[in-house]
């Protein structure tokens, strides 16, 4: 089967099963709405692609009897008494950043390029984010 493209929301709604089936199978699936076009994609495929294309580059350092985690180029840092606590804290810091990005940072010049990171955060569970931070493939 080939890609599916619908030229209107109404047309896509009438063929929702076909649209979702195409996305699940990894085929291109799009819907046009006014002057824009949206892609419908399988969440796990997108999450996996983003995690591979956007490595965390997290740096973890022992500091003052505990651990600190930061992501170079991003204003994100987390601390914990243990490595695991620092990682858990960083997962929460990432979630807060994603919320702030969607609320107000997405239009800030120094944050607007972080769309992929925010999508990755939103589409991942805590274990997947931790694995991403430490560079483990899932």
Predicted pLDDT of residue 108? 94
**pLDDT recorded at residue 138:** 44
Alpha carbon distance 85, 134 (integer Å): 13
CA dist., res. 87 & res. 56, Å (int): 12
What does the alpha-carbon distance between residue 91 and residue 125 come to, in Å, rounded to a whole number? 9
pLDDT given at position 128: 96
At 34-60, the pLDDT tens digits run 889 999 999 999 999 999 998 899 999
**Structural tokens at position 21:** 């089936």
What's the pLDDT tens digit per position in 59-99? Answer: 999 988 999 999 999 999 999 999 999 999 999 999 999 99
Domains parsed from the chain with CATH numbers: 4-41 (3.40.1620), 45-134 (3.30.160.620)
Question: What pLDDT, on the 0 to 100 scale, is given for residue 136?
Answer: 64
| pLDDT tens-digit readout, 2-39 | 999 999 999 999 999 999 999 999 999 999 998 899 99
Structure tokens that stand for 114 in this block = 């972080």
Residue given tokens 């956007």 in the structure block: 54
pLDDT number for residue 135: 86
Res. 1: pLDDT tops 70: no
Q: Can you give the pLDDT at residue 3? A: 92
Q: Which of 67, 8, 62, 4 has its CA nearest to residue 37?
A: 8
């Amino acid at each position: 089967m080939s890609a599916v493209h619908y030229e209107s929301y109404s047309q896509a709604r009438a063929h929702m099963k076909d649209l979702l089936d195409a996305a699940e199978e990894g085929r291109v699936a799009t819907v046009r709405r006014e002057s824009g076009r949206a892609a419908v994609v399988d969440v796990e495929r997108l999450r996996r692609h983003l995690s591979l294309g956007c490595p965390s580059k997290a740096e973890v350092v022992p500091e003052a009897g505990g651990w600190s985690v930061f992501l170079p180029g991003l204003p994100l840092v987390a601390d914990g008494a243990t490595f695991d606590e620092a990682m858990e804290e960083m997962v929460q810091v990432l979630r807060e950043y994603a919320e702030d990005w969607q609320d107000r940072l997405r239009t800030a010049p120094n944050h607007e390029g972080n769309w992929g990171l925010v999508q990755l955060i939103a589409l991942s569970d805590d274990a997947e984010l931790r694995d991403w931070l430490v560079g483990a493939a899932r």
